């Protein structure tokens, strides 16, 4: 099993990364002192945690991860947080040099210096591994650092590691945006998402907030709750790579199963089952897990997959699901699954017998069964279109353009990025409507 190197950029990217690693540690028995308590897994099951963690000679373990930010405060929060003894010092690109300085100016953040050091940190992880099997990034496309720095990092990774699958989990601007310019940050940096990333996972805070309210019954969810909801989905997405499974055992296989055509590589995720901690421990049935997975409110993006058409669909169950019940549950949902007319991938499904885990004593109850639905679905347009609309509203008045000019963005950048964004929307619209989609186009 080749190694997966993760990189977490900007405040949201790092916080989501940190919540994810906390959960990975729980799932693989890695303690806060970086040692591992080995729980005998399910009979015959193997635990491939070595592809995500480095084993040190003193039998301690650290994540193969790099945290990057232009502001030291959020990196510090992570490096001094719950996993302070687990993360290796070299994971934090800012840690040694920049913590003694005030935060970098945005243009400095976007400059080669920080990216170069981030790449150097990735290189160190890569050199220490037996082979790189892929990269997984997390960031918010709403902030300046998470979008710009991340995009530069992706471009360099593409140059340096061509042919190695790159997966990116990003938060997209939504209508609970904190900052009116989020649409600029996202669109201006979309080129690397389209060109350099193989598998783009589309998520947003509004959808995760909705899950906290609807499923976890939290009255006023905060960012920590949201990050844990996203981390739970990250754990399910990567579960098939970290434990024995019959499907999506590595990023290449996931790419093959989800992306039949280059340029249509934006994936929607629904995770199940989120059960509030106030409920007694319970085990949802396979049928209930499946119902949640196909419920639009469980989707981590603000869109309704039921209104779109599926280009591909992977359903991966977690826990002791009985294959016959899986078939029955999925069969019942078939009428709700509309494929694009040229569909070539269809639905793939698998079971990973490792049960989900949760953070002890927090908002979610431990359940023995779960699952994740990964969908390449044309409904993703409903995430992209409002961003385009907002961009046009601002740009038609040239609002805030001057401050972006000072950061090095020219009018050409605005126009070229806007064209790329509408091309992306157009591709998904065409995929949905065409009766004969030209796969080679």
What is the set of active-site residues?
Answer: 253
**Residue 227 contact, options ligand GTP, Mg ion, none, Cβ 5-8 Å cut-off depending on partner type:** ligand GTP
Of 8-16, 91-99, 167-175, 189-197, the segment contacting Mg ion by CB under 5 A is 8-16
The only residue of 138, 205, 265, 354 in contact with ligand GTP, by rule CB under 6 A: 205
# chain residues binding Mg ion, by CB under 5 A: 3
Q: What are phi and psi of 91, to 5 degrees?
A: -70, -25
142 binds ligand GTP (CB under 6 A): yes
The only residue of 33, 58, 127, 178 in contact with ligand GTP, by rule CB under 6 A: 178
Retrieve residue 319's tokens.
């826990």
Which residue, judged by CB position, is nearest to Mg ion in the bound state? 11
200 binds Mg ion (CB under 5 A): no
Which is nearer to Mg ion, 71 or 343 (by Cβ)? 71
Strands 3-9 and 65-68, sheet pairing: parallel
List beta partners, residue 168. 137, 200
- To the nearest whole angstrom, how small is the minimum distance from the Cβ of residue 18 to ligand GTP? 9
165 binds ligand GTP (CB under 6 A): no
153 binds ligand GTP (CB under 6 A): no
Of 6-14, 32-40, 300-308, 412-420, the segment contacting ligand GTP by CB under 6 A is 6-14
17 binds ligand GTP (CB under 6 A): no
| Pairwise CA distance, residues 430 & 427, whole Å | 5
Residues 6+ apart with CB under 8 A from 172: 141, 142, 186, 202, 203, 204, 301, 383, 384, 387
| Pairwise CA distance, residues 203 & 223, whole Å | 14
- To the nearest whole angstrom, how small is the minimum distance from the Cβ of residue 71 to Mg ion? 5
The only residue of 15, 189, 314, 432 in contact with ligand GTP, by rule CB under 6 A: 15
Q: Give, as ranges, the residues between 42 and 81 that touch Mg ion (CB under 5 A).
A: 71
# chain residues binding ligand GTP, by CB under 6 A: 20
185 binds Mg ion (CB under 5 A): no
Residue 22: C-alpha distances to residues 63, 64, 113, 230, 411 (Å): 10, 13, 29, 12, 42
Q: Give, as ranges, the residues between 132 and 151 that touch Mg ion (CB under 5 A).
A: 145
**Peptide bond before 273: cis, by omega within 30 degrees of 0?**
yes
Which residue, judged by CB position, is nearest to ligand GTP in the bound state? 143
**Segment 34-43 long-range contacts (CB within 8 Å, at least 24 positions apart):** 34/60, 34/61, 34/62, 34/85, 34/86, 35/59, 35/60, 35/61, 36/61, 41/243, 41/354, 42/353, 42/354
Which is nearer to ligand GTP, 147 or 249 (by Cβ)? 147
290 binds ligand GTP (CB under 6 A): no
Which is nearer to Mg ion, 11 or 238 (by Cβ)? 11
The only residue of 6, 9, 11, 228 in contact with Mg ion, by rule CB under 5 A: 11
Of 222-230, 275-283, 367-375, 412-420, the segment contacting ligand GTP by CB under 6 A is 222-230
Residue 441: C-alpha distances to residues 261, 264, 427, 431 (Å): 9, 11, 10, 11
List beta partners, residue 75. none
Contact 331, 241 (CB under 8 A): no
List beta partners, residue 201. 169, 267
The CA dihedral of 8, 69, 16, 55, to the nearest 10 degrees, is 50
Which is nearer to ligand GTP, 70 or 417 (by Cβ)? 70
**Residue 79 contact, options ligand GTP, Mg ion, none, Cβ 5-8 Å cut-off depending on partner type:** none
110 binds ligand GTP (CB under 6 A): no
The CB density around residue 423, as the number of other CB atoms within 10 Å, is 12
Q: What are phi and psi of 305, to 5 degrees?
A: -55, -25
12 binds ligand GTP (CB under 6 A): yes
226 binds ligand GTP (CB under 6 A): yes
Of 4-12, 44-52, 179-187, 297-305, the segment contacting Mg ion by CB under 5 A is 4-12
- To the nearest whole angstrom, how small is the minimum distance from the Cβ of residue 250 to ligand GTP? 27
Contact 424, 190 (CB under 8 A): yes
Tell me which residues touch ligand GTP (CB under 6 A). Answer: 10-12, 15-16, 69-70, 140, 142-146, 171, 177-178, 205, 223, 226-227
Give the footprint of Mg ion on this chain (CB under 5 A).
11, 71, 145
């Amino acid at each position: 099993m080749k190694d997966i190197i993760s990189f977490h950029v900007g405040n949201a990217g790092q916080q989501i990364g940190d919540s994810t690693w906390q959960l990975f540690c729980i799932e693989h028995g890695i303690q806060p002192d970086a040692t591992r308590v080995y729980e005998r897994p399910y009979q015959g099951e193997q635990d491939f945690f070595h592809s995500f963690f480095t084993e040190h000679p003193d039998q301690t373990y650290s994540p193969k991860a790099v945290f990057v930010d232009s502001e030291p405060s959020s990196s510090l929060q992570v490096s001094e947080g719950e996993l302070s003894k687990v993360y290796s010092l070299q994971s934090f690109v800012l840690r040694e040099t920049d913590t003694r300085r005030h935060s970098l100016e945005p243009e400095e953040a976007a400059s080669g210096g920080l990216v170069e050091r981030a790449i150097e940190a990735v290189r160190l992880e890569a050199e220490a591994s037996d082979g790189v099997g892929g990269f997984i990034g997390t960031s918010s496309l709403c902030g300046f650092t998470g979008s710009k720095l991340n995009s530069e990092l992706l471009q360099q990774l593409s140059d340096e590691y061509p042919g190695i699958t790159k997966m990116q989990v990003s938060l997209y601007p939504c209508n609970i945006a904190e900052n009116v310019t989020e649409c600029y940050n996202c669109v201006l940096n979309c080129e690397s998402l389209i060109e350099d990333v193989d598998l783009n996972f589309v998520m947003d805070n509004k959808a995760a907030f909705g899950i906290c309210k609807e499923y976890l019954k939290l009255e006023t969810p905060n960012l920590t709750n949201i990050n844990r909801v996203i981390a739970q989905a990250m754990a399910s997405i990567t579960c098939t790579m970290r434990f024995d499974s019959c499907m999506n055992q590595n990023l290449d296989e996931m790419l093959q199963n989800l992306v039949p055509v280059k340029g249509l590589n934006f994936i929607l995720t629904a995770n199940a089952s989120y059960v509030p901690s106030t409920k007694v421990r319970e085990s949802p049935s396979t049928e209930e897990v499946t119902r949640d997975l196909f419920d639009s409110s469980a989707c981590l993006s603000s869109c309704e997959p039921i209104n779109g058409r599926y280009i591909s669909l992977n359903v991966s169950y977690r826990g002791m699901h009985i294959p016959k019940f899986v078939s029955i549950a999925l069969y019942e949902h078939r009428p709700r699954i509309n494929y694009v007319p040229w569909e070539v991938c269809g639905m793939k499904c698998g079971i990973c017998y490792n049960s989900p885990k949760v953070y002890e004593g927090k908002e979610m109850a431990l359940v023995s069964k779960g699952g994740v639905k990964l969908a390449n679905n044309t409904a993703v347009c409903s995430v992209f279109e409002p961003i385009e609309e907002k961009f046009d509203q601002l740009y038609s008045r040239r609002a805030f353009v001057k401050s972006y000019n000072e950061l090095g963005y020219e009018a050409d950048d605005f126009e070229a990025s806007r064209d790329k964004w509408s091309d992306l929307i157009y591709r998904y619209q065409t995929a949905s409507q065409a009766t004969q989609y030209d796969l080679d186009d």
